[in-house]
Chains A and B, each alone.
Chain A
Amino acid sequence: MLRFTVRRVLQLALVVFVLSVLLFAWLRALPGGPVAAILGNRGTAESRAQLREALGLDEPIFVQYLAFLGRALTGDFGTSTGVSPGKPATELFLERFPATIELSIAAIVLALIAAIPLGYLAARHRGGWLDNVGVVGSMIGISIPIFFLAFLLKYLLSIELGLLPTGGRQSAGIDATRVTGFFVLDGILTREWDAALDALKHLLLPALALASIPFAVIFRITRASVLDVLDEDYVRTARSKGLAQWVIRDRHILRNAMLPVVTTIGLQTGALLSGAVLTETVFAWHGIGEALALGFERKDFPVLQVVIIAAAMAYVLVNLVVDLSYAVIDPRIRTVRKGS
């Protein structure tokens, strides 16, 4: 187990290194850059050259990369030029990361709460109305573009009904204490209930929009997996033995059906960032998804570098956790590993 973990961590380091080289070279090979983003069409050829020099963009790319790598190893990814000019990119990332995590957790929790019971029920009542509604709903969930869903949700719940805010993480003017950067949790920890409720209210719509794809995917996998398990001999045996319904459901069906579902949850959690780019932009949610979108628009190299590298690390880490959790869920894997 230890060896397995060490090997995976080394793989992670290699992936991150290769990614950093490719990313660095790719960003600088793109036309334009921070000078155009900062000065626009204001400024002379001379002032542009001066700015390139000040930003170190006139050095050979190899020298630039080494300088970047040296600083990055100490956690310094440079300073934002466009998303939040003047702010160290690492600080910006750390500040915005909780926003994305808060949104992602909310989305995945919403997806799980709905998808697993519905997937199970749909499989148990295959061909019934719930199954049909679920299948059609999940198809819509997968195929509907997030920005369109976000637009619909906003239109209905915010603009027409006035129930929820259209965006942001907290109402302007609310005096909230920041502890962890997770606004809802902060409100609870500091017992500022108004702030917690206000943050929760802001969280709901983007989380719903972001949950659409993981919901659909997890629903379908759960349904398919439960259908497979239902046909297994041990389930039939359990039934014929007259075991209680909940024992059959929890110990025999769900436990065995969950393995592919957990893999999917892991992959979906990693993929949430791509959904977050759109969701955060539409809902002015100041997380790393929005930073990524703005970073590309404004050619903010430091922000793009820190966000993409950190996102890649997070993705690999989540998959590592998923792999390790297999052993916990499926005793057979544990036994095999122990044996070997």
Chain B
Amino acid sequence: MLQLRVARPRRIALIGLAGALAISMSACAESQRESGGDSDGGTLVFGATGAPSNFDPFYASDGETFRVTRQMFENLVGLKPGTAELEPELAKEWKSSEDGKTWTFTLQEGVKFHDGTPFNADAVCKNFERMYNQTGAGATAALSYYWIENFGGFSDGKQPSLYKSCTAENDSTVVLELTRFHAGFPTLLSQDSFGMQSPAAMDEYKANDVKAQGDSFVFSEYARQHPTGTGPFKFSSYDEGNGTVELVRNDEYWGEQAKLSKLIFRVIPDETARKQALEAGDIDGYDFPSPSDWDALEQAGFNLQIRDPFNILYLGITQKNNPALRDLRVRQALAYAIDRENLVKSVMPEKAEVAKEMYPPTVDGYADDVMEYPHDPEKAKQLLKQAGHENLTVELWWPTQVTRPYMPNPQAIFGAIKEDLEEAGITVKPISKPWAGGYIDQVEVAKAQLFLLGWTGDYNSPDNFIGTFFGTTENQFWTSGSPWGKELAAALEEAASTVDPAQREAKYQEINRKLMSEYLPAIPLSHSPPAIVVSPDVQGLVPSPLTKEEFAPVTVSASE
């Protein structure tokens, strides 16, 4: 009997507690939804796939970090929303000398950093000097990737640098001197790493205090807690325990103020979890939804925006470990064997396009008249016969544990290509490895014979695509072993240093023609459009082909 006497009040208490909890929870859920709809644009919560590495864009090279920093920092030059075209940002205008080595920028006036210090020519030079004078860990590719890729070396002179000097002529005029002409200049300055940061804040919080420790790097206090730019949002907090980064509107912003009062990034590494969080209203949007979810998301009323593709997926051909692949006819046979139309239709997301060359048509130097390889298995067989490789066997490598915007489903792409190659009588030996578990490492040292890989452009320049792939002969395609490897690298260098735009364009077009007809170090497969999805309450988001969305013009209306 005592059992009942004790149990009943407990049970009642438990039921009561559960009921109270349910009621208060739903009340809580409601109040959050209401608070999301402030009259001034509200709060946007955006799902991120990973934690930002730090908040100093100069030391970053990953998309999840830039997604946050680009809301806080601005560059001298920017991109027109929704395009890869250049437009003024912190510099109102710019002009170059005839030889393209001296660039004079006229700066916006009345701009202040988030710490109240002025943005002026002196601040610009301090930023460039800081980047150029990196030493130790700061001068490694892990931290200064974009500087090394675009400017080359540092002030230590170990490697030649594109950067020569910066002079502040007056408060609003700054002159940048380069050591040589660079076709990508000043467009390359639009990359997130080159955002302008407050010299005072960088000094105060020892921005350069980054060091290698144990197996990695330790960032400065500045990079962790005090990023200071000029942008429409400023840093508020990073709650690692909860995986949220909070930015607040910069009320002193020099341009049109952000509409959102708060912008929160919430780290949700699991793809399905991100989708469910959106469906439940826990977040207002996320990037790169899986193409297999596109239809369902659209049908559920979410606003799915498909960007213009600015990437390339290719089948790389390394001639090193399979001598048969050194014969152009064999490489051409592979190209004829692959049914790229079908690949794009059956495996790639909606609005993906068949790639004719190694970068998308919107990038300068694209040639319309390159040699094409329509699907023709018979021709492939003929070519293999002519080359004396009728019984060709190739290793076909594909990565696991990864999806990339240009490669949303590696296994399916591999399957389709394998089938096509087998149809042309080629024996395929499949090799799969995890992306960071051997795939990249071994592909990069030219171990794979045929491999799936791709690239998303950083800015609109052929140098950022084919220049990166073939600019040196030390590459995944092993062009050092080809009679044309050096010729191709030299032609790329020449094109990149041609000052006259029309001549430069013609040179890149010629390279593209030769790439497809004479060299064929890889078979371009497709350009895939990555998507971004937001709830119907979110207005004003302009998707960028470079996935560089800015959230300042966005509003979130009250839901329900």
Q: CB within 8 Å of B: which residues of A?
A: 30-48, 50-51, 54-57, 67-68, 71, 76-81, 83-89, 92, 95-96, 98-99, 151, 154-155, 158-159, 162-173, 178, 181, 183, 194, 197-198, 200-201, 244-246, 249, 281-284, 286, 290, 294, 297-299, 301-302
Contacts and interface: CB of A to CB of B under 8 A. Distances in A.
11 contacts: A31-B438, A43-B145, A51-B141, A56-B212, A86-B216, A95-B241, A165-B29, A166-B277, A181-B241, A183-B242, A244-B2
B interface majority secondary structure: mixed
B267 interface: yes
A159 B264 contact: no
A188 B107 CA distance: 52
A173 B43 contact: yes
B387 interface: no
Contacts of B264: 172-173
Contact of A41 (B35, B51, B283, B444): B444
Contacts of A88: 213, 218
Given A39-B145, A41-B476, 5 more contacts: A85-B217, A151-B272, A168-B244, A172-B264, A298-B436
B216 A81 contact: yes
Given A163-B26, A168-B242, A169-B242, A286 B141 contact: no
A78 B442 contact: no
Given A31-B437, A32-B440, A283-B273, A245 B1 contact: yes
Nearest to B30: A162
Q: What 7 A-B pairs have minimum CB-CB distances, sorted nearest first? A: A78-B214, A31-B438, A47-B141, A79-B216, A85-B53, A32-B437, A37-B436
Nearest to B278: A166
B217 A86 contact: yes
Given A71-B214, A83-B51, A197-B24, A36 B141 contact: no
Contact of B244 (A46, A166, A172): A172
A274 to B, nearest CB: 17
Contacts of A67: 214
Given A86-B53, A86-B217, A201-B25, A99 B442 contact: no
Contacts of A158: 276, 280, 282
A87 B238 CA distance: 13
Contacts of A294: 50, 269
A173 B45 contact: yes
B167 interface: no
A68 to B, nearest CB: 7
A168 B282 contact: yes
Nearest to A76: B214
A284 B441 contact: no
Nearest to B440: A36
B428 interface: no
Contacts of A197: 24-25, 28
A48 B476 CA distance: 13
Given A165-B282, A172-B244, A40 B269 contact: no
A310 B32 CA distance: 37
B9 to A, nearest CB: 15
Interface of B: 1-3, 6, 21-22, 24-26, 28-29, 32, 35, 43, 45, 50-51, 53-54, 61, 137, 140-142, 145, 148-149, 212-219, 223-224, 239-244, 246, 262, 264, 266-270, 272-273, 276-277, 279-283, 401, 433-445, 453, 455, 472, 474, 476
Contacts of A84: 51, 240
A79 B215 contact: yes
B25 A166 contact: no
Given A42-B145, A95-B241, A281-B269, A173 B217 contact: no
Given A41-B440, A167-B277, A56 B215 contact: yes
B214 A77 contact: yes
Contacts of B148: 47
Contacts of B435: 32, 36, 40
Contact of B436 (A36, A83, A198, A290): A36
A35 B26 CA distance: 46
A163 B433 contact: no
B3 A249 contact: yes
Contacts of A245: 1-3
Contacts of A283: 273
A246 B2 contact: yes
A42 B212 CA distance: 20
Given A55-B215, A170-B242, A30 B437 contact: yes
Nearest to A96: B241
Q: Which of B54, B264, B437 has the most CB of A within 10 A?
A: B437
Contacts of A244: 2
B32 A162 contact: no
Given A84-B51, A168-B243, A54 B212 contact: yes
Given A32-B439, A54-B142, A281-B269, A45 B262 contact: no
Given A197-B24, A201-B28, A286-B241, A167 B268 contact: yes
B243 A284 contact: yes
A61 B220 CA distance: 29
B542 to A, nearest CB: 23
B267 A286 contact: yes
A149 B28 CA distance: 25
Q: Which of B212, B243, B438 has the most CB of A within 10 A?
A: B243
A245 to B, nearest CB: 6
A86 B276 contact: no
A154 B28 CA distance: 18
Given A87-B240, A290-B269, A165 B280 contact: yes
A166 B453 contact: no
A171 B216 contact: no
Contacts of B149: 42
A163 B244 CA distance: 22
B441 A42 contact: no
A38 B91 CA distance: 32
Contact of A297 (B2, B26, B401, B440): B401
Contact of A78 (B140, B213, B273, B439): B213
Contacts of B439: 32, 36
Contacts of B472: 44
Contacts of B28: 194, 197-198, 201
Given A85-B216, A172-B264, A166 B273 contact: yes
Q: Which of B277, B455, B474 has the most CB of A within 10 A?
A: B277
A302 B216 contact: yes
Nearest to B220: A86
A284 B215 contact: no
A166 B276 contact: yes
B324 to A, nearest CB: 25
A41 B453 contact: yes
A44 B414 CA distance: 25
Nearest to B214: A78
A282 B273 contact: yes
A79 B440 contact: no
Q: Which of B240, B282, B435 has the most CB of A within 10 A?
A: B282
Contacts of A281: 269-270, 273
A80 B213 CA distance: 10
B197 to A, nearest CB: 17
A154 to B, nearest CB: 6
Contacts of A286: 240-243, 267
Contacts of B279: 159, 166
A38 B145 CA distance: 11
Contacts of A95: 240-241
B337 to A, nearest CB: 25
A302 B214 contact: yes
Nearest to B266: A172
A32 B277 contact: no
Given A39-B145, A79-B216, A172-B45, A282 B2 contact: no
A183 B217 CA distance: 29
